[in-house]
């Protein structure tokens, strides 16, 4: 099977705190399947994707009440992560104490491209990461 043939993954969550771990585990499973066919160019890319998924899921649980969806797909030169939640408010950097508030900075720093599309039901955060 070619890397282009890796099926997209769509996982739905209720928005509970434990869903942050569930999102990370879903991303790990997807990346494990992808690596069998196409290993990452740099091993750290796997960890970067997992960190971004974890940060996005944590932001959903904290700032967007209700369910969220995680979609992972193969992009031309990396992995496309889409996180859909119920809040139409775009993410923003938050200056915090004790290491809090750096998640959005991490997402932007580790990604090739980040975009947010708002809609009546909430928003989609699109993140393209190297693989």
Paired tokens of 93: 């950097």
**pLDDT digit of tens for each residue in the chain (131 aa)?**
555 578 899 999 999 999 999 999 999 999 999 999 999 999 999 999 999 999 999 999 999 989 999 999 999 889 999 999 999 999 987 766 555 668 899 999 999 999 999 999 999 999 999 99
Domain residue extents for the chain: 3-130
Please give the CATH topology (third level) of the domain spanning 3-130.
Answer: Heat Shock Protein 90 (3.30.565)
Could you tell me the pTM of the whole model? 0.91
């Amino acid at each position: 099977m070619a890397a282009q043939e890796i099926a997209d993954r769509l996982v739905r969550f209720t928005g509970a705190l434990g869903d942050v771990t569930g999102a990370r585990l879903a991303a790990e499973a997807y990346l494990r399947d992808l690596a069998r066919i196409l290993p990452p160019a740099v091993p750290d890319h796997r960890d970067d994707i997992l960190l971004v998924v974890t940060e996005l899921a944590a932001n959903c649980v904290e700032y967007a009440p209700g369910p969220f969806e995680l979609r992972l797909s193969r992009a031309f030169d990396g992995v496309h992560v889409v996180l859909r939640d119920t809040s139409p408010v775009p993410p923003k950097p938050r200056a915090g104490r004790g290491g809090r508030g750096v998640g959005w900075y991490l997402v932007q720093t580790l990604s090739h491209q980040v975009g947010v599309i708002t809609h009546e039901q909430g928003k989609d955060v699109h993140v393209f990461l190297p693989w």
